[in-house]
């Protein structure tokens, strides 16, 4: 597999999963804040 194809295929996926995990953890923090009040 060429490096260009590898980057084109896997980089968007890793960016998506990083953003997804970040938003999930952020969402959990917001829920915990709501329950604290």
Q: What is the pLDDT of residue 1?
A: 63
Q: What is the pLDDT of residue 18?
A: 95
Q: Which two tokens stand for residue 12?
A: 């968007």
Q: What is the pLDDT of residue 37?
A: 55
Q: What is the pLDDT of residues 1-37, one digit of tens each?
A: 688 988 888 999 999 999 999 999 999 988 887 766 5
C-alpha distances in angstroms, 33 versus 2, 27, 29?
46, 10, 6
Locus of tokens 């597999």:
1
Q: What is the pTM of this model?
A: 0.53
Q: What is the pLDDT of residue 36?
A: 65
> What radius of gyration do the chain's Cα atoms show?
16
């Amino acid at each position: 597999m060429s490096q260009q194809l590898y980057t084109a295929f896997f980089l968007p996926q890793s960016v998506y999963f990083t953003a997804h995990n970040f938003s999930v953890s952020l969402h959990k923090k917001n829920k915990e804040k709501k329950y604290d009040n």
